[in-house]
Structures are given as C-alpha cells and as structure tokens.
Amino acid sequence: MDNFQFFSPTRFIFGKDTENQAGTLCKEFGASKVFIHFGGGSVVRSGLLDRVKKSLSEAELDFVQLGGVKPNPEDTLVYEGIKLCKQENIDFILAVGGGSVIDSAKAIGMGLCYDGDFWDFYSGAAVPEKTIPVATVLTISAAGSEGSESSVITKTDGMYKRGCSNDVIRPVFSILNPALTQTLPVYQTAAGAADIMAHIFERYFTNTKNVETTDRLCEGLLLSMLRELPKVLEDPDDYDARANIMWAGTVAHNNIIGVGRKQDWSSHDLEHELSALYGVTHGAGLAVVFPAWMKYTMNHDVMRFAQLAVRVFGCEMDFFHPERTARKGIARLEQFWRACGLPIRMEEIGGKKDDIPYLVGHLELNGGTLGSFVPIGEAEAAEIYGMMFEK
C-alpha cells in the first residue's frame, strides 16, 4: 500500500426534508450573504429552489441567485458568478443541483479569493490556497462532487475541459435528500449510477499491490449498486434504494475507498471526448468506454479482472482459464448496463468509426499518456475507441 493523506471535512446532512435545514446550516457556517447557484428549470419547477430560499429567509440570511449552469459547466458562467459575488459582497456559496452546478460553484469560490484568472487553477498555472465556503444541496447521485476535492470546468474558447483537485475546495456541508432524486428520468438515474460505478472502477484498476481493504470497499459499493439500481428503475419512488445509491455515490468519490493506491482515470479522459463530440450524458458515455477499456487492458492483470468477476459479478472462477472468468465479468457488466437502459456501444450514441482520429486528436495527451494501470497513448486510444464499435 502507498503512503497517503485523507481529509474529508464535509459535513453530510442526509435524509428526508433535510433541504429545509439549508438556512440554519449556512448561518452556522458563518454565512451572512449567500450566493445560490443552480442549473436549469427543474429545481425551480420542483419547488426546491423556493424551499431553499424560504429556509435562508427564515434564518434571516440575504441571498442572490444565478442559474443557468449546463452539463459540462463553462468558464463564462464562472466569470459571471465571480463578478456578481464581488458586486454583492457574497461570503458563502450554496450550490443547488448536481455535479455541474457544484463544480461551477467550486470554481467561483476559488476565483473570489484569487487576484488572477480562476482558470489558472485548471490549467495548472496556480494552486488554490483558499476559497469562499461552498455548500451543496444535491439533486442527482452521480458525480460525487458533493464530497470530493475536485471540479471540472470547460473553457469555451477552444472547448478545453480541465479539472482542479485540491482539498480546500471540498464543500463545507452537503445536504443529501434522496427524495429529491425521485423526479429524475430513468435514463438520468441510470447514467448517474454508471458514473458512480465508473468512479469505483477508476480506483479499482491499479498496479498497487496488497490493497485488500480498499478493494473490498470498492467491491462492496459495486455490489450495492448492482442490487439497488434495478429497484429504482422498477420503482422510481423507492426511497430506500435511492438512499443507498446516494450514499454509495458520495462514498465512491470522497476517496476513502481509493486511498493508498495509484488510480487510473484514463476512461474518464476517453469519455470526455464522447460527451464533447456526441453530446452524450457523461455517465452513459462511461458505459460505452469502460467495457472496451476493460477488454483492452484485461491481459495486463487477468487476475484482478477475475477477482472483480467473481467477487462482484458472481462469476464462478475458472481456475485453469482465469481469462474466461475475467471476460465473463466484463460481459456481465455490459448486460447489467444494457438492462438498465444504457448504451454500451458507439453506434447507440451516434458514434462513427471515421471520428476516431478526431477523438484521439482531441485527447489531452501532450505527447504523453493517459492513465496508469495501462498507459494509454494515441495508438492505444485509437484501438480502444475502435473496440467500442465491436458487437
């Protein structure tokens, strides 16, 4: 196991009606004027935004609001948010939404405490040292940003999608009410779940040896996802199943299950290009990327894939042909995602073989490679994209 630091100071307030505590909590965390950040109309239509505002008013807190965050949140709205927050003397940010809204809020929070361009934190030109406190009211189980140290923003000038990771941007509190996810369309619920599973896979596939405790925690979360997601797809109002998925999504990405090992993350990079070119939802894109990536990298460590197949996907171990077990595990993952209504092949998201050079060309390789389990350069990426077309 590798040396590591783990620091997750976010306070999680989990359960029914917890959004009504937003005002009290903001006040407890020192807010005097709150910037409410959100996305499209769903938080308005559902009445959530009004409930949050009512809670702030009851706590005698002033607030201003800025909506309009889109999936793959953009720098332009971040600049607008920073400007508005400065004008209004904001000292606290409350993100009401999913990963995109939270990531945008994190960028604004850092930007407010920095004289330069906030993009420096995403381009790698600077390291964030502080932020205006950011808190969240989560509306979809997926990105894990409610408890994570990361934020991903897209620079519209050139469409560069870049991430910033630093413990200072972990939210100070996150309100997690599983009932808020009950209005999500089935497809978005499934795509969110695939994103959660992908966060686990990115950590699971490692070259670090002897990481049994975190392996078992990863496997435990995956087993829970396999059992709880179908319940939600069958009955969208199954609060408990949504609660299990929501806590799994947070634990999957606050990194308690991923410490002490070298993680991979090349599949996320490969997926970003699919979202950019085809507009596919991030989690659905990951359901296309992972099976191909797994088939490509399987021979690098057949036994790790066999372990996943046996422990998570209930395959019987073929002791004399472990690669058969490994392949069966990948096949079961595909069957699971397909049964949940997710795409698992390029054709299903409008992908074309002719686009492969374009996809590869847009990867942020800089002459290097992606990932660490198996380093992925241009040739490897092209091959993996190609395998996403195979039946």
Contact footprint for a second copy (CB under 8 A) = 1-16, 18, 178, 209-217, 219-221, 223-224, 227-228, 239-241, 243-245, 247-248, 251, 256, 259-260
- Closer residue to a second copy (CB): 154 or 307: 307
Map residue 66 onto helix, strand or coil: strand
Q: Which residue is it, tokens 């030109």? A: 125
By CB atoms closer than 10 A (0-12, 13-18, 19+), residue 194 is: buried
- Considering the complex, what minimum distance in angstroms separates the CB of residue 49 from a second copy? 22
Q: How far apart are CA 326 and CA 315, in angstroms?
A: 9
- Considering the complex, what minimum distance in angstroms separates the CB of residue 14 from a second copy? 5
Residue among 83, 140, 72, 135 nearest 108 (CA): 83
60 CB-near residues (< 8 Å, 6+ apart): 27
- Closer residue to a second copy (CB): 169 or 376: 169
- Are 27 and 188 in contact by the 8 Å Cβ rule? The answer is no
- Considering the complex, what minimum distance in angstroms separates the CB of residue 258 from a second copy? 11
- Considering the complex, what minimum distance in angstroms separates the CB of residue 9 from a second copy? 4
Q: Which helix (H) or strand (E) holds 34?
A: strand 33-38
- Closer residue to a second copy (CB): 12 or 290: 12
- Considering the complex, what minimum distance in angstroms separates the CB of residue 7 from a second copy? 4
Helix 212-234 / helix 302-311 crossing angle, nearest 10 deg:
50
- Closer residue to a second copy (CB): 10 or 104: 10
Which contacts (CB < 8 Å, 24+ apart) does range 326-334 have? 326/298, 326/302, 327/295, 327/298, 329/305, 330/291, 330/294, 330/295, 330/298, 330/305, 333/290, 333/291, 333/294, 334/291
- Considering the complex, what minimum distance in angstroms separates the CB of residue 312 from a second copy? 10
